[in-house]
Amino acid sequence: MVLILTQMLSIAVFGFIWQFICEKVTNKAVTAENSLTVISSLVYYFMLPALILEILWLAPLMENSVYIATMAGGGVLGSMLLAILFSHFSTHLPRAAMGALILAASFPNATYMGLPVLEETFGSWSKSIALQYDVFACTPILLSLGIYIASSYGEQEKLSKLLLSMLKVPAIWATILAITLNLNNVPMPEFFTGVFYKMGNTVIPLMLFSLGLSLRPQLISLHDIKPVLAITAIQLILMPFIVWSIGQTLPISEIYLLPVVIEGGMPSMLLGLVLCNRYKLDTGLYASAVMVSSLVSLITLPAILTILS
């Protein structure tokens, strides 16, 4: 697991290096900011929906899917509550920083880091667990309660606009389509199998590269390190404990339990940067939380795997 995590973070390092390469481009036509926008938009509108269709169309959706969603949802909501309590009672941060920290503590990088980690650790069959964890629990909560929190702590938006923005998410429609085709036993045409597979394979490296693009050398200050470390502890230690505790009360198949708990221990999700930008939260603080949690996960994820194995 350490090897795959190191390889993934190495791709993020290349994204970080690209920032300095962009500064040397004489015509300034290429910048780190517009590179990040183009890559994120490409993944958001095309590559991620293709990945969802490739995996969920053919994945075995059974009773365990309900248990996976229950454990994931409980982990997100439990961590969110802890982050809200911490941000209000243990810090004197502005509301924009509070909102960023709450999002960073609540939503794990279930697909972009979780999927390759599970595949490398448990086998290709576990890829569907990562997507189910994400699209059945994390994404719906992010696009409802997550957006509400971002709006409440940042630039407020009307409820009608919030609802409309949820309906425009391509991943949601790809999930609905994939599940419909799956439950009706519609076979995937060979042509689409190849197309979705090739497009889906680009999601992970592109988003890891974007992670590097979003980081800044001056991100973390001494003033920020305490809340970032606290949020990292919630994300990497308390969330997987919550997920594991919920799993002990459910009749989930034993083969699924450990991969689901590992998903709960993933670092903060990169997609939260989009919400921070849109609702004027502290983007720099959120990116710091992503960077720190990604580095610390090199220790915590192997530890969780060892303890629970």
Q: With respect to residue 1, please indicate whether it lies within any of the assigned structural domains.
A: no
Q: With respect to residue 235, please indicate whether it lies within any of the assigned structural domains.
A: yes
Q: With respect to residue 229, please indicate whether it lies within any of the assigned structural domains.
A: yes
- CA 290 to chain centroid, in Å, comes to 10
Q: With respect to residue 199, please indicate whether it lies within any of the assigned structural domains.
A: yes
Span 80-101, pLDDT tens digits:
999 999 988 876 788 899 999 9
How far apart are alpha carbons 98 and 100 in whole angstroms?
5
pTM here is 0.84
Q: Range of 182's domain?
A: 32-308
Span 127-157, pLDDT tens digits:
889 989 998 899 889 888 888 898 889 877 6
Q: With respect to residue 8, please indicate whether it lies within any of the assigned structural domains.
A: no
Work out how many domains the chain is built from and give that number.
Answer: 1
Q: How confident is the model at residue 301 (pLDDT cuts 50, 70, 90)?
A: very high
DSSP H stretches of helix in the chain: 2-23, 32-42, 48-56, 63-89, 95-106, 114-122, 127-133, 139-141, 147-153, 159-167, 170-183, 190-200, 203-214, 222-233, 239-248, 254-264, 272-278, 283-308
Q: What is the CATH classification number for the domain harbouring 114?
A: 1.20.1530.20
Q: With respect to residue 160, please indicate whether it lies within any of the assigned structural domains.
A: yes
Span 219-278, pLDDT tens digits:
556 567 888 999 999 999 999 999 999 999 999 988 999 999 999 999 998 878 778 877
How far apart are alpha carbons 122 and 291 in whole angstroms?
25
Q: With respect to residue 82, please indicate whether it lies within any of the assigned structural domains.
A: yes
Q: With respect to residue 113, please indicate whether it lies within any of the assigned structural domains.
A: yes
